[in-house]
Copies of this chain bind each other. A is one copy, B any other.
Amino acid sequence: MIPKDHPRYKSLVTREHLADCAKKGIVSWEGLTSHGRGEAFDYLLGEKTSDSARRAEQTAAALLRTARHPVISVNGNTAALAAREIALLQKASGAIVEVNLFHRTPERVEQIESVLRNAGADVFSGEAERLLPLSHDRAFCRREGMYAADVVLVPLEDGDRCEVLVAMGKKVIAVDLNPLSRTAKKATLTIVDEVTRALPEIAGACSSLSDEVCCSLVAVLDNSVFLKEARNEMAARLLHALD
């Protein structure tokens, strides 16, 4: 249906995949729009991982490696785009994988858990309780899962939950292509990169970094530097793009 000669072929195929996932109920309709927001910021990054983002990804690995109880929170878009990458990161980091949704129904939770399991992830499921102080359904999580976590990786996150998790004393790693978003600003560490590029980088660093390097990366972590570098990168592309 999408002509192969279209210059945005890859992007259109991903959109079509997400639309199919939306028809099945895995991705929410609003999730399609969120994806588009991300696409635009990725466009400004040149659709590649910057040096700064790679350092942020190594720091994320260091946070996961030094955590007592790390949790990876997965929503519909993350499962649709990167279920395999989530499973690989789980293997590399030993983190719990837990589904947390803005547009939550028991059916959607089960569907997304099954997408993750089919991709090889070991999903922490069971009864969720309203444990986070939020007025919407992202308040639901599991007592032994996200509620007990000291480090939470939240790819493609909604801003207010990020804020709440930080206020609860947790270290929050966000993957967010918008360096100006509330999530990006509130997180302990923000990776400004596309999720299917970011997760394998984090997994690779989980396997390769020494304990010593992990400790020093955590010690020098300053998220404002990562955000500033991402903003500079995007601004440069806006100012100097010639093609």
- State whether A178 touches B37 (Cβ < 8 A): no
For the complex, give the distance between the alpha carbons of A16 and B30 in Å: 6
With contacts A32-B32, A40-B40, A136-B3 known, is A238 near B235, CB below 8 A? Answer: yes
Interface string of A9-44 (1 = CB under 8 A from B): 000100110110011000011101111111111011
Kindly list chain B residues whose C-beta atoms are within 8 Å of the C-beta of A29.
15-16, 18-19, 22-23, 32
For the complex, give the distance between the alpha carbons of A15 and B33 in Å: 7
Kindly list chain B residues whose C-beta atoms are within 8 Å of the C-beta of A39.
33, 36-37, 40
Q: Does A234 contact B (CB under 8 A)?
A: yes
Count of A interface residues, CB-CB < 8 Å: 45
Q: Say how many copies of this protein the assembly contains.
A: 2
For the complex, give the distance between the alpha carbons of A159 and B22 in Å: 25
Q: Which of B8, B12, B37 contacts A40 (CB 8 A)?
A: B37
Chain A residues within 8 Å of B, Cβ to Cβ: 2-3, 5-8, 12, 15-16, 18-19, 22-23, 28-30, 32-41, 43-44, 135-136, 159-160, 178-180, 182, 231-232, 234-239, 241
For the complex of A and B, 10 pairs with smallest distance between CB atoms:
A36-B36, A19-B29, A40-B40, A32-B32, A33-B36, A235-B235, A235-B238, A36-B37, A37-B40, A3-B135
**27 CB < 8 A contacts A-B:** A3-B136, A5-B135, A15-B33, A18-B33, A19-B32, A19-B33, A22-B32, A23-B29, A32-B32, A32-B33, A33-B33, A33-B35, A36-B36, A36-B37, A36-B39, A37-B37, A37-B39, A37-B40, A39-B40, A43-B178, A43-B180, A179-B238, A180-B238, A231-B238, A231-B239, A231-B241, A232-B239
